[in-house]
Amino acid sequence: MSRAWAEIDLDALGHNLGQIRRRVAADTAVMLVVKADAYGHGAVAVAHHALRSGIAALGVGTSAEALELRRAGIRAPILVLGTIVDEEAGEALRNEVHVAIHSLDRCQMLQDSARRMRTHAFVHLKIDTGMGRLGVLPSRALDLLRKIKGSSHLRLTGIMTHLASPRGTLDEATHEQLREFDAVVASAREQGLYDGCLHACNSAGIFTGLGERYDMVRPGISAYGVLPEELAGQGQLKPVLSLHTQVVFLKDVAAGAGVGYGSTWKAKTGTRIAILALGYNDGVSWRLSNRGEVLVRGQRAPVVGLVSMDYMTIDVGVIPGVQVGDRVTLIGEQGGQRIRALDLATEAGTIPYEITCAVGKRVERIYTGGETVLFPSRKPAAARPEGGPDSSAPASASARGSPTLARPAVAWPRRGRA
């Protein structure tokens, strides 16, 4: 048993992908978002299992995340959903990483880079329909499409937008965003500027009725078993990650004794304190100091004192038999009790995304399940490499001694019509 570990249930991931598949049309491709190390779950293992299950593409936040997947032998289409900086262009293009594009200067940079390298840059036009972040404004989108179409070394493989509301279609702003998006797409088709893959729908969109719209959907947090409780479908998802540590020391303290930095908690009566091998560097929010709970021996124990970098303390005075080495659960089930990432987020005044993404590098990821593929409704985008069993084959070493990245699949999923 490690000092701290996260158990990643690949069967739960497969179950959740099946729930997503049931909410989209049969010919709608699924791009699983695995940015931020798959929301803290481990991008490489998650991506391999998702591709075995029929996922068509992967979405990441940075080119470094894309290259990590290529080095792990993944050949499926990968899209950097945000942007890249100039220095990242070479490796991204060399490895056929698709890039979101949102401005004329990014367009020119990628064109120049691809021309120098005698290759093509695969791009997705990102339209800002209301997110107010990256993306070209709808009024300028057609000009950028003309620029892309006239660029000798750019290949437009998608048009996308980003839904801003976590409530999906329960928010009128989502409908307005889609009206803006549809208007640009219609004009682009009329002018012969594009007639390929379209995608806009995130987890909130999928679980509020948008799953059959456009050619591809981009689930993120829902694949990992988390949704806002007001969205239909939360009860059908299974949490993929559970977080655990162990008791490393026990101490009896007298009434009035302080615990932790600043002695922000003082014992009202004599009690027993358990020290856990997990702190804010490992992903336990400092905001859970003196207010969170954990599970030990199937019972809830309160967090006492400030969460520190490497350790945290809990009061186990009323829980009989606690010993050094006992398993402690911060997220997950134990003895019929359950603590969800959503529960921790509510207690800490944050969102579940932050809770799972914060799980640190010192926390060992232990993967379970993964033998069963629940929804092989389409062939995985990555063909089997020669000499290897599947897309999980390791990359070979180059003559220079650095890893050779996996040769990617060129095709991008599309229906051709919204």
H/E run at residue 48: helix 43-52
Q: Per the structure block, which two tokens stand in for 60? A: 């990441």
3-state secondary structure of 130: coil
3-state secondary structure of 370: coil
The residues near 14 (Cβ < 8 Å, ≥ 6 apart) are: 49, 53, 369, 370, 372, 373, 374, 375
Q: DSSP H helical segments within 95-212, as ranges?
A: 104-117, 138-149, 172-190, 203-205
Residue with the two structure tokens 């009896």: 252
- Amino acid identity of residue 232, one-letter, is A
Q: Per the structure block, which two tokens stand in for 358? A: 């914060």
Q: How many residues does the chain have?
A: 418
For residues 32 and 50, the answer to whether their CB atoms sit within 8 Å is yes
Q: Per the structure block, which two tokens stand in for 265? A: 């908690």
For residue 301, which phi and psi values (nearest 5 degrees)?
-125, 135
Helix axes 138-149, 104-117, angle to 10 degrees: 20
For the chain, what is the radius of gyration of the CA atoms? 24
Q: How far apart are CA 194 and CA 196, in angstroms?
A: 6
The residues near 257 (Cβ < 8 Å, ≥ 6 apart) are: 266, 267
Residue with the two structure tokens 């299992």: 49
Q: Is 35 one of the annotated active-site residues of the chain?
A: yes
Query: Which one is catalytic: 35, 126, 214, 280?
Result: 35
The residues near 295 (Cβ < 8 Å, ≥ 6 apart) are: 301, 328, 329, 330, 332, 333, 334, 335, 337, 339
Q: How far apart are CA 360 and CA 299, in angstroms?
A: 25
**Per DSSP, what are the bridge partners of residue 57?**
31
Q: Catalytic residue positions?
A: 35, 261
